[in-house]
Structure formats: C-alpha cells, structure tokens
C-alpha cells in the first residue's frame, strides 16, 4: 500500500546504501510527471472569446522549471489515496454533488425537483460522489483509468499534498497547456481537428440534447486518451476541468510577472481546460487561455485536477 511520500524519501537513501535491497520500481506517481522547462510565455490573449471570463489582456509571464502530472488524476490514483488515508471527500460529506442531466438514468432524474436556474442541465444528485459519478447506482469499476470527478478544490489539495505535490498555479497550468507554442488556441495549435483527427474529448452535436460522441466518448475518456502535447501532457483541454491553486479574478495587470500566484484572496478558485461537456456554442473553453471558476467546496461530474511539483517526487 502506498505510504506517505515523505517516508519513501527518508527510506530511499537507506535502501540505496544496502546493495542487496533492490529499489522498488518507480510507482505510477513517480513516472507520471514531466519536467516543464522554465521560460517566458504569453499568458491570456488579446482576442478573448469569452470577455467576462478575464481571458485578457495578454501578458508576459516568467516561470521557473517545475514538474507537471502527465495525466489528470485518475479514479485509480484517487482510490490509492483514499485507501491509504481514509479521506472523505466534500461531496460525500455534503451528501450530494452536481451531475449533468444527460448522464442520469430516468430513475435518478425522477427523484430530483431542483435544478440550477441558469444551467438547467445541472442537477444536484443525492449520493453522487467520486465513487458514484451518476448517483448511488453508478460505479467507477469500468472507469478506473478515467479522471476522478466530484472532487472539490479542497479535496484536490488534500490529494496533491498526500502525493508530495501541490496544485499548479494558473500560470503553470496555462504554460503547460501551451506546450511551448506561442499564442495558439489549443495545446497542439490553432486548428481544432488537424487532418480530421480528434485531439480532445469535448462535445460534438447539439448541446445539451444530442451528444454524437464523434470523438469516441460521450462522458469522460481514459486519462491517456488522445495525443499528448509537445510537453507530453494529456487531456490538458477537454475530458475533465482542472482545478488550479489561484483565486479567481477577471482583471489582470498587463505588467510582466515572475511566477505569479494569482490574487491573495477571493471567493472562487480558477479551473482550466473545459470538459467533455464543452461545445463551441455555449462553452468554448477548451482553449489554453480560457478559464472559469467555482467555490473551493464545489464538485461536479466534469471537474477533476492534476498536480504539479517543484521537484519530482521520488518512487513511492
Ligand atoms: C483499495 O482497497 C480495496 C480494498 O482493499 C482494493 O480492492 C483496491 O484494489 C485498492 N485500490 C487501490 C488503487 O490500491
Ligand atoms: C443528433 O445529431 C446527428 C448529427 O447531426 C443526427 O444525425 C442525429 O439524427 C441527431 N439525433 C437526434 C436524436 O436528434
Ligand atoms: Ca466527447
Ligand atoms: Ca482536462
């Protein structure tokens, strides 16, 4: 069973010093991070698609090197954490979480009489949680390699801390998304479907009534689906939204910044990348500059995360 990362760090020199003790093969946590080289990039855009989200202005941002998870945190990863710590998520404590109506059975829907006025396709479902993404009768057993869902910002911080990591800042996330390209819409360039290929798990068809799943997935996809960007990162846009460590604000200084960490306070946290529910008609947010927000205790069936780290954690 996974031990806290600190323990592994302490034990590793000991193990290395004893020649007949073989070092365990690096676990999934050690191999799934990539080193993102420090540098300067253009954060945000001068051509915002969604004005009220604060996508602009474009500003020059300098970052030191850091490590980034190659994949969104999967159900399997999260189960390792819960097995090791007994952690209970906020959705489990509150007893409900938001689920996209299109994923619910008629039986579950019949039980709900309340919806989100501005977005009636979101329904609060009793018993929905990371283990039961569409309510008590649903299970993740066939989706262990899919992104964990229904995790709040607080849950995400708890996981990353346990793994010896932390959430990425918004700047780190966006820099990672861009994969070394300047001023492009997507992690791979400006064309949504180069050579007709799907590069991300988003929504095809009419939102919210007709999900044709041309990209192969109606809901989430495995965290390793679709081609990675030039940094080797998968599903930065689409699949699940990803929490970042920044507080939310829509006004940004155009000044050049070094390792910005966002506003010092706020009510909501920044999430990036859009999800399998995003369609250009109403949620053109599967772009690196795009952003949205939720309160830190919010959870939903399209919101997950990945972790970053200053230095790569050792084998666990
Ligand atoms: C978590 O514990 C359960 C029960 O012991 C086990 O079946 C499962 O494989 C464990 N999951 C992980 C990811 O280690
Ligand atoms: C969904 O959209 C596809 C493609 O436009 C169309 O062929 C299909 O008939 C639509 N299905 C429904 C139920 O409207
Ligand atoms: Ca899809
Ligand atoms: Ca994602």
Q: What is the pLDDT of residue 315?
A: 52
Ligand nearest to the CA of 173: 4
Sign of CA dihedral 308, 309, 311, 313: negative
User: First and final CA of the chain: distance in angstroms?
Assistant: 9
Atom 2 of ligand 1, nearest CA residue: 83
Gap between the Cα atoms of 280 and 68, Å rounded: 28
Q: Which residue has the tokens 């253009």?
A: 42
Percent of the chain with pLDDT over 70: 89
83 CA to middle of ligand 1, Å? 6
Pairwise CA distance, residues 11 & 14, whole Å:
5
pLDDT digits 0-9 by tens, 101-149? 999 999 899 888 888 888 899 999 999 999 999 999 999 999 999 999 9
- Testing ligand 2's pocket by substitution, the residue of 206, 213, 281 carrying the most ligand atoms inside 8 A of its CB is 206
Q: Is any atom of ligand 2 closer than 6 Å to the C-beta of 213? A: no
Domains assigned to the chain: 33-309 (3.90.1580.10)
Cα angle, residue 246 at apex, residues 240 and 249 outer, rounded to 5°? 100
214 within ligand 2 shell (Cβ under 6 A):
no
* Ligand 3 centre distance from Cα of residue 155 (Å): 26
CA 301 to ligand 3 center in whole angstroms: 14
Residue 210 near ligand 2, beta carbon < 6 Å: yes
Ligand closest in space to the Cα of 27: 1
CA pair distance 288, 300, nearest whole angstrom = 21
The pLDDT of residue 6 is above 60? no
Identify which ligand lies nearest to the alpha carbon of 198: 3
Give the per-residue pLDDT at 115.
86
Over residues 201-250, the pLDDT tens digits come to 999 999 999 999 999 999 999 999 999 999 999 999 999 999 999 999 99
Cβ atoms of residues 128 and 279 within 8 Å? no
| CA–CA gap between residue 71 and residue 126 (Å, rounded) | 29
CA separation for the pair 312, 159 (Å, rounded)? 16
Which pTM value belongs to this model? 0.90
CA of 140 to the centre of ligand 2 (A): 28
For residue 12, is pLDDT > 70? no
Band of residue 9 on the pLDDT scale cut at 50, 70, 90: very low
Q: For residue 302, give the ligand nearest its CA.
A: 4
Residue whose tokens read 């690196």: 288
Where does ligand 1 bind, in terms of residues with CB under 6 Å?
76, 79-80, 83
Q: Which residues of 90-115 are buried (b: 16+ CB within 10 A; e: fewer)?
A: bbbeeebbbbbbbbbeeebeeebeee
Q: Is 205 in the pocket of ligand 2 (CB under 6 A)?
A: yes
CA of 190 to the centre of ligand 4 (A): 18
Within 10 A of 275 (CB to CB), how many other CB atoms are there?
31
- Going by C-alpha positions, the residue among 142, 139, 28, 25 that lies closest to residue 77 is 28
Cβ neighbours around 15 below 10 Å, total: 13
Task: Give yes or no for a contact between 165 and 309, defined as CB atoms under 8 angstroms apart.
Answer: yes
312, pLDDT greater than 70: no
Q: How far is the CA of 274 from the centre of ligand 1 (A)?
A: 30
State the DSSP string of 81-103.
HHHHH----HHHHHTEEEEEGGG
Give the contacts of 208 (CB within 8 A, at least 6 positions apart): 100, 101, 102, 121, 277
27: alpha, beta or left, given left = phi > 0 and alpha = psi -120 to 50?
A: beta
Q: Give percent of the chain with pLDDT exceeding 90.
A: 84
**Protein residue whose Cα sits closest to atom 14 of ligand 2:** 210
């Amino acid at each position: 069973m996974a031990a806290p990362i600190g323990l592994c760090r302490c034990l590793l020199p000991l193990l290395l010093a004893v020649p007949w003790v073989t070092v365990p093969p690096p676990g999934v946590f050690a191999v799934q991070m990539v080193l993102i080289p420090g540098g300067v990039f253009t954060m945000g855009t001068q051509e915002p698609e969604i004005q009220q989200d604060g996508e602009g202005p474009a500003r020059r941002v300098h970052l030191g090197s850091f490590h980034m998870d190659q994949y969104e945190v999967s159900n399997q990863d999260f189960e390792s954490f819960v097995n090791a710590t007994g952690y209970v998520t906020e959705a489990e404590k509150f007893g409900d979480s938001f689920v996209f109506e299109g994923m619910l059975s008629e039986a579950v829907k019949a039980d709900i009489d309340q919806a989100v006025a501005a977005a009636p396709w979101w329904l609060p479902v009793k018993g929905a949680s990371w283990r039961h993404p569409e309510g008590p009768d649903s299970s993740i057993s066939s989706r262990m390699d899919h992104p964990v869902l229904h995790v709040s910002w607080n849950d995400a911080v708890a996981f990353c801390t346990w793994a010896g990591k932390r959430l990425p800042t918004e700047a780190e996330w966006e820099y990672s998304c861009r994969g070394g390209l300047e001023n492009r819409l997507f992690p791979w360039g400006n064309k949504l479907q180069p050579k007709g290929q799907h590069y991300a798990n988003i929504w095809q068809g009419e939102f919210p009534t007709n999900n044709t799943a041309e990209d192969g997935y109606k809901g989430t996809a495995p965290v390793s689906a679709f081609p990675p960007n030039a940094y080797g990162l998968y599903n930065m846009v689409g699949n699940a939204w990803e929490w970042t460590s920044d507080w939310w604000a829509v006004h940004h200084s155009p000044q050049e910044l070094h390792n910005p960490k966002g506003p010092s306070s706020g009510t909501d946290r920044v999430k990036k990348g859009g999800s399998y529910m995003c369609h250009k008609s109403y949620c053109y947010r599967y772009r690196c500059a795009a952003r949205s927000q939720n309160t830190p205790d919010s959870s939903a069936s399209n919101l997950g995360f990945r972790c970053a780290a200053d230095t790569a954690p050792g084998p666990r």
